Every structure is written in structure tokens, then in C-alpha cells.
A and B are shown apart, each in its own frame.
Chain A
Amino acid sequence: MSSSTAVEFRRGAQEWVVALAGALDAESLPPIWARARAALSESGGAPLRVDAAKVTYCDGSGIAFLLDLRREALRHGSRITIANLAPRFAELLAQFDRASLDDASEAAPARQPRLTEQVGRAVLQLGADLRRQWRYVRRVMVCLLYELRHPSVVRWKEVLSVAEEMGVNGLPVVTLIAFLMGVVLAYQSAVPMRQYGAELFVANLIGLSMIRELAPLMTTIVLAGRTGAAFAAELGTMKVDEEIDALTTMALDPLRFLVVPRVIATVSMTPLLTIYAALVGLLGGGLVMLTFQIPLITYFKQIVGVVSIGDFTGGLFKSAVFAFLVATVGCGRGLEAQGGPRAVGLAATRAVVSTIVLIVVFDGIFAVVFHLFGF
């Protein structure tokens, strides 16, 4: 059909003639359209007659083309007539009221705010966000304390299923990361320390850093990506689908119903995962030490000698605090979601980013506090 489509521009006695022939459809129009526009701007305001006698077919884009010719001609100040269009296509064309089609709202040009304004707004937003988060965390703590004093109201089934999903199903990735971290740490430190004949003290290094610092930190960062994002996406979807509103109108507090079980599950599982990660990490380091002719038993005795119970409990305490951050912030970001699928994606991203930032900040605070108290 499109092969026979043609357009011709002729200068007639008093007017320009645009002769169209063949099928005007999405296949044939693209090359013609641009040429027609160019020819129109050349016509320089002379009257224009579109002769559509030979048009055999005209679909929606054909009608749009004719309308566009009419609009362009009027913009250039030429008079335009569309003649000899077959009645069934003319009827389609007549549907369009020129005035209201041209009136169609143009995009309001977005005002570009100045840099100072942008910075000011961002700071205000950050402040509002922090205040909101603090209010939310306070409410979660109040709910949590209440439920811990009344264990019968806790939704233990939900706690267990969340614990299984985030704890048990999280084991493989935690294993892999902790093991490799132990291996890397051992290799990186053993090579230089060997120059001083101090390979044995690699055990001290791995033991202290794994148990005090790396196991809690890495486990919770993995959790932030795995569990925090999942909480945010799940609760975000529930919010977008009005399930949260349904809970609220059933007089069920979403915080108590959804957030508290997740917080309880995460806070109780994470220290266990941390202990596990520390052991796996130590094992990874131990295997490397074997290649430096240090037997496992010597390695472990060295570790037991240097790591105190304070290091161990300190690490666990940190991991519990980080876990609280992961669960609370993850759920909170989900509950904030507003709008469609994009809001859910945004909630998951913000959950991961803000949790990791908070974990690192709190880790710094812990380092200072532990140092001051000689822990």
C-alpha cells in the first residue's frame, strides 16, 4: 500500500498545491511528513490547497498529518483548504475542533531553582526526615517495650517465619562472605608479618578484628541489603496496595502488627548469625595459617588467649543494635512509600542506603564509647 504513496508540491496560479496520493498511514508518512513541513515554511504565506483526491486510505496518523499541515500553515499565516478528501476520511477530520486541539495544554516550563534554594530545601528536607525518623523509632521502641512486657500479644508465628527467612535462609551468603573475609585477612597480614617472624600474631589480629568488628559489621551490612530491602519492598507494596490502611481501619497498629515482629526476629537472629560469621571467619583464617605451618590448635589457643569475653559481648551488643537499625529503618522506609511501583523501588533503595550509613555512623560512635570506657 505504502509503495504508491506520494506527495507533490506545485506552484499553481494563485496558490501552492500539495497533491497527496496513495495510503496515508504510519508506514508511508514518516518521510513525507518532514518534507511537507519544510515545503510549508518555504511557501512564505501563500495560500495553500491540499488535494487529497488520490488518497486511497487514511488512518489516525494520516488524519494527524492533515491536521498538522493545517496547523503549520496557519502558523505561517497561509490560508489552507483540504479538498477532495473521501467522505469517510473527511468525517474523521471533522471530529477535530481546531481551537481546542491547539489549546491542548503545553507542558508548563519547570522553573529551575537556584543553587542556594536547592541547598536550603535539601537541608530542610533532611531535617524533617531526621525528625520523622526519630519520632518513628521512638514509637517502635514504645511498642517493642510494651510487647516485651506482654509476650502473649506478640505475633510469634510471624516472628518465626521472618526469623527463618532472614536468619536461616541468610546463612549461605553470610558463610561465604565471612569465610572469604577470614581468608583474605589472614593472607594480607601473614605475608608482611612473616618478615618479622610474627606469623603467629596473625591469630590475634584475626581473632580481635573478626569478633569485635568485622563479624558484626559485615553480617549486618549483608542483612541491610538482604533483609532491610525486603522489608521495605514488602511493606512498601502493602502501603501502595492500601493493605496498611486496611490494618489501620481494623484498629490494628501497623507498627505492632508488622514492624515489631520483624524487629524482634531480626534483633534475636542477628547476634546468632554474628557468632556464626565470626566462627566461619576464624576457620577461614585458620586454614590459611595452616599453609604458614601454624597448626589449628596453636592458632585457636592464641585466639582464646587474646580475645576477652568483653570483646565477644561487645561485638554481640553492636550486632543487636545494628540489627535494630536494619529492621526499623527497613520497615520505616517501606511504610513511607507513596504512589506506584517506583515508590516501592525507591523505598528499598533508601532503606539500604540509610541503614548502611547508620550502621557505619553507629559503629564509629561505639568505637569512641568503648575506648572511653576502656572496654
Chain B
Amino acid sequence: MAAEPIIQVEHLTVGYAQDGEQTVLLQDVSFQVLRGEVFAILGGSGSGKSTLLKHMIGLLRPIAGRIIIDGDDIVAANRAERRSIMRRFGVMYQMGALFGSMTTLENVRLPLEEFTEFDDEAMDWIARTKLYQVGMSAAAHRMPSELSGGMQKRAAIARAMALDPAIVFLDEPSAGLDPITSAELDRLIVRLARTLGITFVVVTHELPSIFAIADRVILLDPRLRGVVATGTPAQLRDSSDPRVHQFFHREPEEVMP
């Protein structure tokens, strides 16, 4: 696979304004995601990783910087351009965010109905192939409330892949899952990345999952308001930087009295 960047984050500064005061969460962050890789954004609670994700998928606007997705800057884009960029990626939200009023199949069908010209039968069939790819064929006609947490997330991945995006963003895929289900989801992500060539950007803090799926990771640190380290999971694990070491070896901030 050619190591060509598909996402470029350049000099990004993000934060939020509350009561007229501006709090900067990340200062001057730059990194690249390469086509076809599984890229993980790591960090503890409050390090701004979810905020970074929300900026990358265009839900929030940064204070400064550029985010280039597949050649187009999503920050500078106007509404119409932004929507066309958004169609090139899929997002799986932390809790799946399946629409509770529709069956699993209808959830996957929805983007096809809105953005393609396929007839009903073709859309049903495409949605079924997506569900098959995540191992959810049997649950096609069940409502999201009847699915377990792991199944909801798999269905959400199928929905994110409905339009064959080049990139899929995953927000905390292992949140709220037991280790076995979480490992199954990891295997699914790796399989989809390898067979379909989809680029995955995963926000997580689960160490086992990072070693199982990620080609490269960046580690965010709230004290630094930016990226502490970039590299393969193994490189970061063996890093001599105390902050990286602390994260990868699960050392608590302070020793409890």
C-alpha cells in the first residue's frame, strides 16, 4: 500500500468558549493519517481526543488550522462542500447512535436512500451485504433496542460503511463492551481495513485494543495540550518519555496515601 496521506491535520488549535473565556484544549497539533492504515488517537480522559475527532468529522470548527480530508479542507469548506466531504467518510459513534425507530436494515439503508439512485430492492440487497460483512445478517429485521451493545456497534459500523467511504471514524469502539466482544470488534475492524482498504481512525484509550488493531498511534496529553508521541504501538510502549511510559504502563498520576 502506497504511504500516501489521506488525512492531514495542520497546525490545529481547538478549544471552547464558555462565559466569554476561551479554553484551549489542543495547541498547534499536526499529524497525518495514511491511506489504508488503522490510525489510533490515544489519550486519557480530558486530553481532547473526542474533541479532536469532532473537529475531524466537521461537527466543530477549530480556532485555527486546517484539516484536509482526501484532498479537501473541511475547515474552510462551505456548507455544501462540507456535506460532500462528509459523504466520503462514515462515523461510528460511541453508543452506536442507531435510530431507535428503524430496524437494523433500515438504519443501514438510510444513507443509500438519501444519497444514491438505487431502487428499493437494490438498496435492500446492498444493506444486507453490509450487514453480512459485519456478521449481522441474522439481526437485519430487529430493532436496535433488541440488540446487545456489541451488536449495536457492529450495525453502526455497517451503517458507516453503507456508502463505501474511504475513511471510517470510530469513537471509543470498545466503550461498554466486555473483553471478548471488544476483541471480536477489533478483529472485525482489522479484517475490514485489510480486505476493503478502508482507512480507520479510532479514538480510544483501551491498550489491548490498540495493540490488536493500530498501525500507528498518536498520544495526546492534556498538560502539553498536544501530541506527546507518534509511532507504532510497540514504539510507544518502549518509549523512554515518562508521559508515554506512564500511559502505556498504566501508572497512576500520584500514589494514593
Contact = CB atoms under 8 A, between A and B. Distances in A.
A310 B121 CA distance: 70
Contacts, number: 82
B132 A96 contact: yes
Interface residues of B, number: 31
A104 B126 contact: no
A33 interface: yes
Nearest to A343: B100
B148 interface: no
Contact of A100 (B122, B137, B195): B137
Given A61-B126, A64-B129, A91 B195 contact: yes
Nearest to B131: A104
A217 to B, nearest CB: 36
A26 B145 contact: no
Given A26-B163, A29-B118, A30-B116, A67 B125 contact: yes
Nearest to B142: A105
Nearest to A62: B164
Interface in B213-252: none
A100 B126 CA distance: 15
Given A64-B129, A100-B132, A342-B100, A30 B138 contact: no
B50 to A, nearest CB: 19
B140 A60 contact: no
A363 B230 CA distance: 72
Chain B interface mostly helix, strand, loop or mixed? helix
Nearest to A94: B195
A101 B116 contact: no
A60 B164 contact: yes
Given A96-B132, A104-B128, A25 B164 contact: yes
B137 A64 contact: no
A91 B194 CA distance: 11
A339 B100 contact: yes
Chain A interface mostly helix, strand, loop or mixed? helix
B118 A26 contact: yes
Indicate the member of B115, B126, B161 with the most A CB atoms within 10 Å: B126
Nearest to B101: A342
Contacts of B129: 60, 63-64, 67, 96, 101
Interface residues of A, number: 33
Given A34-B119, A60-B129, A340-B145, A92 B196 contact: yes
Interface in B48-98: none
B160 to A, nearest CB: 12
A67 B128 CA distance: 11
A107 B116 contact: no
Contacts of A100: 132, 137
B187 interface: no
Given A26-B116, A30-B119, A339-B145, A64 B133 contact: no
B164 A104 contact: no
A95 interface: yes
B123 to A, nearest CB: 9
Contact of B195 (A61, A68, A92, A108): A92
A117 interface: no
B35 interface: no
Contacts of A107: 103, 140-141
A61 B132 contact: no
Contact of A95 (B103, B131, B133, B141): B133
Contacts of B131: 104
Interface of A: 25-26, 29-31, 33-34, 37, 59-61, 63-65, 67-68, 71, 91-92, 95-96, 100-101, 103-108, 339-342
Interface of B: 100-101, 103, 112, 115-119, 121-122, 125-126, 128-133, 137-141, 144-145, 161, 163-164, 195-196
Given A26-B164, A60-B130, 14 more contacts: A26-B116, A26-B163, A30-B118, A34-B119, A59-B164, A68-B122, A95-B133, A95-B195, A104-B131, A104-B137, A105-B138, A105-B139, A106-B141, A341-B100
Pairs A-B, 6 closest by C-beta atoms: A30-B117, A340-B100, A104-B137, A59-B164, A60-B164, A64-B126
8 contacts: A29-B122, A34-B122, A60-B126, A63-B129, A92-B195, A96-B132, A101-B128, A104-B132
